[in-house]
DNA sequence: CTGAAAGCGCTAACAT
DNA sequence: ATGTTAGCGCTTTCAG
């Protein structure tokens, strides 16, 4: 068996309390001499504190849970990295949980994490409206930071992005370039951020004297394929579209594919704006113009907030909303005259 | 405080032992009647076992660690997902740890995970040759599965891919298409898999009567930028290159960039083969021909092996080596006559 | 079929 | 400055 506090105590001829004190850097109550003696032993024997035993008495495990839909979705690794980096700095480890937007799995993980006494949870829930399990979790006393996807409740902590503003920015950019027939491929509209991005799109249109044409709106699901299918539909029904706002980058990639297969050029024939700015959007040809979400920073912030909460510190704000940023690259351009007047 | 086994025992008028028995589904030793009474109480009170307390006595935590260089590197999310899925099936949770190929961080995480009594660890180490900390970890009794990057020791469990074969496959494909001047952008050569891919490349050349020209080999670091820089160097010094084997997809993307900025066409002027087959390689235009590593399956397998090990079951093989697969897409083509004879 | 008791390794009053 | 003691919530002999 591994060496314990008891072994050290015996060898140092002190009580386990004393050993515990020096292990935990309790400043007072131990003479320099005994402290050194113990530290020496600790090193010699390669003593490692048993976090499980410690957790049993302190009720703190220095462990947090990160519940997300899917780490293979390119939007999440950066978030996860931010969370983990931040956690690591403060001495926490993070449990990774993938729910596939499945409510049952969400509940399963919540239970598992509670049983393992995580100190807190960062949660990107798919729960569109049905978030009792989350409220219950919060009520049970576990600190929770909601992340990226907002639930309607007011009584939560969270890190989000201003999706409305993002949708607006994207649309405005397109309008500024002269586009008038601007289609929108939305996310799944039961998810709040999808509705917000769409609302931003509509605002952009309206504000510039353009009408919202439902024919130009296609409800996707944030996956590549719906970008492909959506663009096909849109293009087939509306020959005069000059621009598409895809509500995430993945669907923008799908749009690329369809547009190419139709023999159109980006941005000469059709401009595209995405949303997220995942790493590969800069690699694509042409590089994707998109609305950047600072995923890494959001992860960093969420973890920092969570740990403050855990450690009983005050938070200035319960909700941090990041500003989205328009990143202009090569997939958007001015409207070609011929098309404009055709 | 949360409800404990004790509370249940009191209310059910039985000892905690009995409660423990039904909680743990010990088949024998409890009458149907008491069992039901207890189960009823468990449900009513929302009892959740305390995994920490349990862990303290059983020395098992149903927890594993996953140590990788960087979850934001697109190669790792699929692996992580495989590991997590597999772990979840068996009731384990996984700690995500990013080391940035930093030996110190590796050791830090090893310590943290040991203190938290993880039942086992899946490890992609950057340790090129310097892997004492890993051997020590293994000696300390923690089951470890090495993953993706092989260390030289024989006395390990691991899940790898046949990198040699992969390098060979890539090169052979290019040769079959008529290429003779084939450059190679390698990974960091202190990493074994990079050396193996390079060796496979050389074998392909030699086997077909071509010479290995060191001028055509550039040592990269698996990151995009080294693909950019490497391709520049290669192209500047060797005007007659008709193909490049980039030892991972990320560097292939870099090569794309440079080749385009030079005004060349892929694959008409230069063919490219990558390695990994990360998700976005199908989205790129032209779609990348590459050597596929089944990342998700590798993760799945590693976790399954680890859990078998943890649970004391026999493993048929200590090392599982996956076969790489050539995925022919659009970035490779036959050599153009003019170029061939110029 | 059920229970009493010990103990996992540690922290935290409460002495001294 | 140091030690004694209780106990965190659970599993596990060992008895009955």
Residue of B nearest to A97 (CA): B84
Distance between CA B284 and CA B273 in Å, rounded? 13
pLDDT of B242 > 80? The answer is yes
How many Å separate Cα A116 from the centre of its chain? 23
Rounded average pLDDT over B216-233? 96
pLDDT grade, residue B338 (50/70/90)? low
Rounded average pLDDT over B302-331? 96
Chain A 30-69 residues in 7 Å CB range of strand C: 49-50, 53-54, 56-58
Bridge-based pairing of strands B271-276 and B289-292 is: parallel
CA of B16: nearest nucleotide by C1' is C3
Q: Which of B116, B253, B284 sits opposite A93 (nearest CB)?
A: B116
What does residue B229 show for φ and ψ, rounded to 5 degrees?
Answer: -65, -45
Q: A interface mutation test: which of B116, B297, B303, B329 has the most A CBs within 10 A?
A: B116
- CA dist list (Å): B186 to A265, B42, B192, B217, B251: 34, 59, 11, 7, 9
Chain A 163-182 residues in 7 Å CB range of strand C: none
Bases of chain C within 7 A of a CB of the protein: 1-5, 7-13
Rounded average pLDDT over B32-47? 90
Rounded average pLDDT over B127-147? 88
Answer yes or no: do A84 and B96 touch at CB < 8 A. Answer: yes
Q: Which of B140, B145, B150 is nearest to B117 (CA)?
A: B140
Task: Give the end-to-end CA distance of chain A in Å, rounded to a whole number.
Answer: 82
Distance between CA A68 and CA A236 in Å, rounded? 36
Q: How far is A273 from chain B (nearest CA, A)?
A: 17
The continuous run of DSSP H or E covering B266 comes out as none
Q: Which of A237, A314, A254 is nearest to A288 (CA)?
A: A254
* Half-sphere exposure in the Cβ direction for B220 (13 Å, CA): 35
Please list the pLDDT of chain A residue by residue as tens digits (342 residues).
689 999 999 888 898 999 999 988 876 777 888 888 899 999 999 999 999 999 999 999 999 999 999 999 999 999 999 999 999 999 999 999 999 989 999 999 999 999 999 999 999 987 767 788 999 999 999 999 999 988 877 789 999 999 999 999 999 999 999 999 999 999 999 888 999 999 999 999 999 999 999 999 999 999 999 999 999 999 999 889 999 999 999 999 999 999 999 999 999 999 999 999 998 899 888 999 999 999 999 999 999 999 999 999 989 999 999 999 999 999 999 997 554 444
pLDDT of B341 > 80? The answer is no
Answer yes or no: do B51 and A115 touch at CB < 8 A. Answer: yes
Residue nearest to nucleotide D5 (CA to C1'): A17
pLDDT per residue as tens digits for the range B82-104:
999 999 999 999 999 999 989 99
Going by C-beta distance under 8 Å and a sequence separation of 6 or more, which residues neighbour residue A337?
none
Scanning B95-134 for CB atoms below 8 A from A yields 95-98, 111-117
**The pLDDT value given to residue B238:** 84
The three-state DSSP-derived secondary structure of A26-93 is: CCCCCCHHHHHHHHHHHHHHCCCCCHHHHHHHHCCCCEEEEEECCCCCCCHHHHHHHHHHHHHHCCCE
**The pLDDT value given to residue B340:** 43
Answer yes or no: do B71 and A61 touch at CB < 8 A. Answer: no
In the structure, how far is the CA atom of residue B212 from the C1' atom of nucleotide D2, in angstroms?
A: 73
In the structure, how far is the CA atom of residue B50 from the C1' atom of nucleotide D6, in angstroms?
A: 20
Contacts of A256 in chain B (CB under 8 A): 283, 285
In the structure, how far is the CA atom of residue A47 from the C1' atom of nucleotide C10, in angstroms?
A: 14
CATH assignment, A63-160+294-322? 3.40.50.2300
Domains of chain A, residue spans: 5-49, 63-160+294-322, 163-293
Distance between CA A9 and CA A278 in Å, rounded? 53
pLDDT per residue as tens digits for the range B149-180:
888 777 899 999 999 999 999 999 999 999 99
Residue B148 bridge partners (DSSP): none
Looking at the whole model, is its pTM more than 0.75?
yes
The SS3 assignment for A149 reads: coil
Q: Which of B204, B208, B193, B212 is nearest to B168 (CA)?
A: B204
Q: How far is B208 from chain A (nearest CA, A)?
A: 34
**The pLDDT value given to residue A34:** 86
The SS3 assignment for B213 reads: coil
- CA dist list (Å): B109 to A43, A304, B96: 18, 20, 10
| Residue B33 CB lies within 7 Å of the nucleic strand C | yes
DSSP B272: E
CATH class given for the domain over B163-293: alpha beta
As given in the structure block, the two tokens for residue B45 are 């009170």
Whether chain A has a CB inside 8 Å of the CB on B260: the answer is: yes
Q: B interface mutation test: which of A70, A97, A115 has the most B CBs within 10 A?
A: A115
In the structure, how far is the CA atom of residue A44 from the C1' atom of nucleotide C10, in angstroms?
A: 21
Cis peptide before B179 (omega within 30 of 0): no
Distance between CA B214 and CA B185 in Å, rounded? 11
- In chain B, which ranges are continuous DSSP H helix? 5-12, 16-23, 32-45, 51-58, 76-89, 103-115, 132-139, 163-176, 192-207, 224-237, 249-261, 295-310, 337-341
Residue whose entry in the numeric block shows the structure tokens 């900025």: B261
Answer yes or no: do A98 and B81 touch at CB < 8 A. Answer: yes
pLDDT of B129 > 90? The answer is no
Distance between CA B111 and CA B142 in Å, rounded? 12
Q: What is the CA radius of gyration of chain A?
A: 26
- CA dist list (Å): B247 to B181, B195, B253, B274, B275: 16, 10, 11, 6, 5
The SS3 assignment for B169 reads: helix
Asked, colleague to colleague, whether A63-160+294-322 and A163-293 share their fold, the answer is: yes
């Amino acid at each position: 068996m591994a060496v314990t506090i008891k072994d050290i105590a015996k060898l140092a001829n002190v009580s386990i309390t004393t050993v515990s004190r020096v292990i935990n850097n309790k400043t007072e109550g131990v003479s320099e001499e005994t402290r050194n003696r113990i530290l020496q032993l600790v090193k010699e024997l390669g003593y490692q504190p048993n976090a499980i035993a410690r957790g049993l008495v302190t009720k703190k495990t220095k462990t947090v849970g990160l519940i997300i839909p899917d780490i293979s979705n390119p939007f999440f690794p950066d978030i996860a990295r931010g969370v983990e980096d931040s956690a690591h700095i403060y001495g926490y480890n993070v449990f990774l949980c993938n729910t596939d937007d499945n409510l049952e799995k969400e509940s399963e993980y919540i239970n598992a994490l509670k049983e393992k006494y995580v100190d807190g949870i960062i949660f990107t829930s798919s729960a569109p409206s049905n978030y009792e399990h989350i409220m219950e979790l919060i009520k049970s006393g576990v600190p929770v930071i909601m992340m990226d996807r907002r639930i309607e409740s007011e009584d939560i902590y969270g890190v989000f992005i201003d999706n409305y503003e993002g949708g607006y920015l994207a649309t405005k950019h397109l309008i500024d370039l002269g586009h008038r027939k601007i289609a929108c491929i939305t996310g799944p509209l039961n998810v709040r951020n999808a509705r917000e991005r769409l609302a931003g799109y509509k605002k952009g249109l309206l504000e510039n004297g353009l009408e919202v044409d439902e024919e130009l709106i296609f409800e996707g699901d944030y996956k590549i394929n719906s970008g492909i299918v959506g663009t096909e539909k849109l293009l087939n029904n509306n020959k005069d579209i000059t621009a598409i706002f895809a509500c995430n980058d993945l669907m923008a990639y799908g749009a690329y594919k369809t547009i190419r297969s139709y023999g159109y050029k980006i941005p000469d024939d059709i401009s595209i704006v995405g949303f997220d700015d995942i790493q590969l959007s800069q690699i694509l040809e042409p590089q994707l113009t998109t609305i950047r979400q600072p995923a890494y920073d959001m992860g960093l912030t969420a973890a920092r907030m969570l740990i403050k909460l855990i450690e009983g510190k005050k938070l200035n704000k319960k909700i941090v909303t990041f500003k989205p940023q328009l990143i202009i690259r090569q997939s958007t351009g001015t409207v070609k005259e011929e098309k404009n007047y055709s």
